[in-house]
Structure 1
Amino acid sequence: MSNKRSMFARVYPYIFILLPYVPNHVFAQDSGPASVITAKENQAVLKALPFANQQDFENVKRGFIAPLPDEGVIKNKEGEPVWNLEAFQFARDKPAPDTANPSLWRQLQLNSEGGLYEVIPRIYQVRSADLSNITFIEGDSGVIVMDPLISAETARVALDLYREHRGSKPVVAVIYTHSHVDHYGGVRGVVNEEDVKSGKVKVIAPKDFLVEAVSENVFAGNHMARRASFMYGNLIPKDPKGTLGAGLGLETSTGTVTLIEPTDTIIRTGDKRNIDGLSFEFLMAPGSEAPAEMHFYIPELKALTAAENATHTLHNLYTLRGAKVRNARDWSRYLHETLQRWGDKVEVLFAPHHWPTWGQANVINHLKKQRDLYKYLNDQTLRLANHGYNMVQTAELMQLPPELSQYWANRGYYGSVNHDTRAVWNYYLGFFDGNPARLYPMPPTAAGKKYVAYMGGAANIIKQAKKDFDAGEYRWVAEVLDKLVSAEPNNRAARNLLANTLEQLGYQQENGTWRNFFLSGAMELRHGIQRLPVPLTASADTIRSMPITLIFDYLGIRLNGPKATGRKISINITLPDIEEEYALTLENAVLNYGPPIDDPQSSVTINRSDLNDIILGVDSIQEKLEAGAVKISGDVGQLKTLLSLMDHFDFWWNLVTPQPMVIDPNGGD
């Protein structure tokens, strides 16, 4: 191992704030056609929904000024594509094929419209240059940028496109509406840190933005990122048998993720700021779509954003990549309060995803429909739960009323009624449904073997499953074959039939992320896990912005408890440049931190900036020691021992077959 990959770097190698990029079309296309049953299911959608309503297609084109340059292909400095809008143009002006739910196909057609647009005079957006939109609000002397995308490369192209048509106005402020990476990661593409430090550019964000931005995908980041590779369709082709986008947008860009810390924090609802001659009135919305989120209204322009809480899709109350469940009741309440504050004044609603809504009556209708969508899911889930229905039953019974379900913006392209219902149930009631038979389940492999024996063996299961597959009983076939594949992961006939089953389920989905999960699972069953190149998205900005306590928390997560059993370690750590001191103590197989202690086994002195270099692999701890940047007194071996107890997380863990049940999966580092 190179000394550039030091012990500290091994302690903290992955902070997945963005899903990994995997080259598209990795495998030859081997997807099958839609079955007759799938084709009928998809055709039925055309009769069930108001496809004659073409208003969204008019709105998505409204205010168009110019397309993205280079046909929507954006590259990094090495000339490698980090974004490709052109790859999603296969749906343009074409009817949905049998392999696509027509409603999701429609959403893809809308999402694949891209370029520079005028929202109203003084507000402009570049759309479909990333998963999210970037918004430019013109002040008296410069421009205020809202939510600068995921990557610096995409944000820079968007800013250049705006300036080409609106003039080279300086950026005077950046607003992060919330703490997800697609709303801050491209910030260095639109401003430089020197201008922020000098006060020329303000960076404005909601309370707790920084902690939430760097923590949500850290502690369980390796797990989240693996699932995100399924959720966003990174492993499957972009075509009518592959990914149709993610509903919220097309996919994520894969450029350079950056972060500049806020210089101004919005603390409470009612806070106001004057930014370059425009008034901004804020409403806090924590615990809604993001842990830290806010809405704002600009009176001079009669313009409102509800951040990501009122877009053109049912959103996730639980995201399939894995995260804390969101509060549907509060989400609805924030939208209600937004209506109460500004509903009688607003003329346009713009968002960091999708297209705007114009006209006071239309804005009010949209906010009410979205407000009541989340309130209905919250209230009706609890109604059914209080009747005694468990989580799965409640989700199966849940149906939106026509006044909500027939509104296109409430369709389940990103969230779904089914998994959002389960999210609400879990938010209030947790994982256990009260049935003691389900309190202590067997793990998948052990249970799978028992199921297979009870069902007459693998051959009989496959025989019966083929009959049910031909009958279109795909949900049941998937459930049964999951038991067989759990019991016999190398059973090729079972894997292939399960892959075919997941594929048909994927073809039927209105939800983009469900489709991506089903089709990615089919791909993995057929080809196995392919350890393809993926970037480590632990960006320097993220690590430098992390509170040192967050790093210590993550060390505790990395600690291999069984290996640490019986050990006692105490280390004082002094960080002179930030004037902070801590003690790390290991006992009872748990790593704690707090104020310095008397008589530690060893003491380490290192500047936080040098620690950042070690974490990022710029320098090794040995190089820092030789340069005098790290000083250790006492038992030097204690630090090495502590680091030897840290696990390394393999990104490519099994998703569609069970993980091997071992106590110590990798023996630490």
Structure 2
Amino acid sequence: MRYQKYFFSILLLSLTFSCSDETDSNNAIVLNSSVKELINHTQEFKKEIYSFGNGIHVAVGYGIANSIMVEGIGGNIIIDASDSTFEAEIIYKQFKEINSNPIKAIIYTHNHGDHTFGTSYYYNLFDEKPDVIAHESTDYYVERIIGILNPIISKRSTRMFGTELPDEDVINVGIGPYLGVSQSPVGYIKPNITFKKELKLNIAGIDIELYHAPGETNDQLFVWLPQKKALMPGDNLYKTFPNLYTIRGTTHRDVKGWVESLDHMRSFNPQYLFPSHTKPLSGPQVLETLTIYRDAIQYVHDQTIRLINKGFYPDQIIEMIQLPENLSSSPFINEFYGTVRWSVKSIFNGYLGWFNGNISDLDPLSRFEEAKRFSAMVGGKEALFLELEKAIKNKDMQWALQISDQLIALDYKTKKTNKLRAQAAKSIAGESSNPNKRNYFLSAAYELDPNYKQSSLLPQTEAVLKEISVDMFFDILAVRLNPEKVEPGEFRVCFSFTSGLKRSMTLRNSIAEISTLTSDCDIQVETDDQVFKEMLAGIRNPIFTVTSGKVNTNGNATSFLSFLKKFSDS
């Protein structure tokens, strides 16, 4: 049986790509005047430590997210630990010059890696480990992202943040200068203190109030420091229109709940606002900004629902909703991250699901069948290709992309079609002032380069695997099952771990059922939790790990390896 090195590497992050150094002059990216404001927006992320007389310090521009230090008595508190241990080390050198007292607690405002993946740097600095505090659902969402959805979320995040684009192609990422999570191993630490609705505590003499505040994520919280009249809203507010939907992919974001969370923040009448992206605010501007932000979100929500109830489809509604001038004129509502159009589609889907109500869209023709008929209607495949060239010549680039979809479905002149598709994508990107769209289109264009090569995947570290549950690995295995490799009948493998955890996986009807039932086993496996995780993550070679007895199969090594092989497409 032949096994590739990373055959079982189910937890690999940073799905990245590289491209040829050759540049087609026709594909050169020309910055349109519409991106001037985006270029100016980069000043929002100028690398700087903002210090306030109340003992709060904010590191802006060191990565995509801010990191905040609150000085206490004999110890300090970190709110959001940056996107990587690499960035955390740089930031802490600056913080330490201000106050070198030990870190007593690290607070996650939510699960996103740019707020959590630098934690282990702080955590490992001290013999007396700091508490890690978050909402009770944060760990679930971390595991979800680095678990069953990791391959596609990594790929789409790479595109959206432009992490493998040439430096000169990335202006910024809307809410920060760049995403640095791939510069070092993931440093996530599981929270040891969690709460459901609210938590009030005193750390190093600082009264801290934490409130669950669903918005950009379901686990979002905000931090209120009553002694300092300071509020940390996490990602529920930053200096750009909010990402009510993110094009990298996400579960539905409760837009109405987001507004309610902002109203909760407003009720404290904060004097200082320290967002986890973009610069801090103080004085009357704080309440003004919170109000204009929540009003913009409510406007999009309410008007979308109004038009939904009139029977309009999503593609119609996006053409009908624009923010009024008194909202759109705010610098906090520029569409440098989320957009109204994307938000409308997400709100529709969140309330009514994927079916837009149009009967022609319920069970449409396959992409290939539609392309075949479309081609015949315009005079054949070559005529369709000529229409693509015409669209490119006329700089009708969105239409060119849609024509190229048809040609790709027909597998006609694919190399030439891809070249023109890349040209259209780059042209659209060059005219876009939204960095998410810009970076995604540029990345997609580079992937069409015939010399494109996906770079190596980065394996997880032993340390981060200790923070991840064994159950997550079983969930990943279940969704990686190749149904073509499952034989008729029922086959059960039972697992006993040194932690006392017992699980079974039963193959039947081309699915893998995960259960606590551990009787009638075809194979009985006994192993250490960490060894099992390291084997599946590619840190340990599966053949050696099994044959050496680190994973004890009670004489069924060959059968167990064959069982694992069913969770691969190779």
Partner of 2:529: 608
Residues 492 and 590 of structure 1, relative CA distance in 2, 3 Å threshold: closer
Do the aligned partners of 1:573 and 1:596 also contact (CA within 8 Å) in 2?
no
Q: Distance in 1 between matches of 2:241 and 2:459?
A: 28
Give the deviation of 1:193 after TM superposition: 7.7
**Partners of 1:119 and 1:569 in 2: CA distance:** 63
**Amino acid in structure 2 at the alignment position of 1:568:** E
Which residue type is aligned with residue 185 of structure 1? F
Question: 2:106 is aligned with what amino acid?
Answer: V
Partner of residue 42 from structure 2, selected from 84, 108, 127: 108
The corresponding residue for 1:552 is 474
Matched, 1:172 2:95: no
Q: Does 1:420 align with 2:348?
A: no
For the 8 Å contact 1:214–1:542, the answer to whether it is kept is no
Q: Within the alignment, does 1:536 sit opposite 2:458 as a pair?
A: yes
Distance 1:295 1:349 in 2: 11
Aligned residues of 1:247 and 1:512 also touching (Cα < 8 A): yes
Distance in 1 between residues matched to 2:331 and 2:121, nearest whole Å: 34
Instruction: Give, in angstroms, the shift of residue 209 of structure 1.
Output: 1.3
Matched residue of 1:408: which SS? coil
Counterpart amino acid of residue 642 in structure 1: F
Aligned residue in 2 for 1:158: 91
Paired positions, count = 568
SS in structure 1 opposite 2:466?
helix
Equivalent-residue separation in structure 1 for 2:520 and 2:408 (angstroms): 55
Q: How far does residue 299 in structure 1 lie from its aligned partner after superposition?
A: 1.1
Identity over the aligned pairs, expressed in percent?
24
Q: 1:372-423 CA distances to partner (integer Å, 9 max, x unpaired)? A: 2222222111111111111111112221111211111112111111111111
Q: Which residue of 1 aligns with 2:123?
A: 191
Distance verdict in 2 for CA 1:509–1:393, change over 3 Å: same
- 1:328 aligned to 2:328? no
Alpha-carbon distance in 2 for matches of 1:135, 1:210: 21
Distance 2:19 2:554 in 1: 51
With structure 1 as the length reference, what TM-score do the two structures score? 0.79
1:347 aligns with 2:268: no
Asked if 1:149 is matched to 2:82, the reply is yes
SS of the residue corresponding to residue 257 of structure 2 reads helix
**Residue identity matched to 2:518:** I
Matches within 5 A, 1:362-511: 362-488=285-411, 490-511=413-434
Deviations 1:448-498 (A, max 9, x none): 233222222344334444544455533323222322233235444433333
Contact map agreement 1:24 1:238 (CA 8 A) in 2: no
Which residue of structure 1 aligns with residue 503 of structure 2?
A: 582
- Tell me what 1:276 maps to: 204
Cα 1:398–1:489 change in 2 (3 A) is farther
**CA deviations over 1:588-612 (Å, ceiling 9, x no partner):** 1111122233221121111112213
Are 2:484 and 1:562 aligned? Answer: yes
Aligned residue among 220, 227, 237 for 1:293: 220
- Partner secondary structure for residue 101 of structure 2: coil
Question: CA separation in 2, counterparts of 1:235 and 1:457?
Answer: 38
229, 235, 239: which one aligns with 2:158: 229
Task: Tell me, in whole angstroms, the C-alpha distance in 2 between the residues paired with 1:33 and 1:632.
Answer: 57
The equivalent of 1:265 in structure 2 is 194
- 1:328, CA displacement in angstroms? 0.7
Tell me the distance in 2 between the aligned counterparts of 1:483 and 1:2: 39
Does the CA contact (< 8 Å) of 1:154 and 1:189 recur in 2? no
The answer as to whether partners of 1:132 and 1:183 remain within 8 angstroms in 2 is: yes
CA distance in 1 between counterparts of 2:489 and 2:565 reads: 12
Q: 1:559 to 1:532 in 2, by over 3 A?
A: closer
SS at match of 1:496: helix
Query: Which SS does the other structure have where 1:141 is aligned?
Result: coil
SS in 2 for 1:476: helix
Deviations 1:339-376 (A, max 9, x none): 12x12xx11100111101111x2111111111122222
- The 2-side partners of 1:488 and 1:212 are apart by 39
Contact 1:214 1:545 in 2 (8 A): no
Q: Secondary structure of 1:301's match?
A: coil
* Residue of structure 2 aligned with 1:13, choices 10, 13, 24: 10
> Quick one: distance in 2 between partners of 1:485 and 1:3?
33
Secondary structure in structure 2 of the residue aligned to 1:300: coil
Q: Say if 1:601 and 1:638, in contact at 8 Å, map to a contact too.
A: no
Aligned to 1:311: 238
| d(CA) in 2 for partners of 1:29, 1:339 | 52
CA drift of 1:237 comes to 2.6
> 1:592 corresponds to which letter in structure 2?
E
TM-score calculated relative to the size of structure 2 = 0.93
Structure 1 pair 181/537, CA: closer, same or farther in 2 (3 Å)? farther
The offset of 1:537, in angstroms, is: 5.1
The structure-2 alpha-carbon separation of the partners of 1:562 and 1:481, relative to structure 1 and needing over 3 Å to count, comes to same
1:55-74 paired onto structure 2 within 5 Å: none
Conservation of the 8 A alpha-carbon contact between 2:147 and 2:472: no
Unaligned runs of 5+ in 2: none
For 1:517 and 1:300, how far apart are their aligned partners in 2? 43
Alignment gaps of 5+ in structure 1: 36-96, 648-667
Taking only aligned residues, the RMSD between alpha carbons, in angstroms, comes to 2.6
2:338 is paired with a residue of what secondary structure?
Answer: coil
CA change 1:313–1:565 in 2 (3 A) is farther
Q: Report the 3-state secondary structure (helix = DSSP H, G, I; strand = E; otherwise coil) of the residue aligned with 1:10.
A: coil
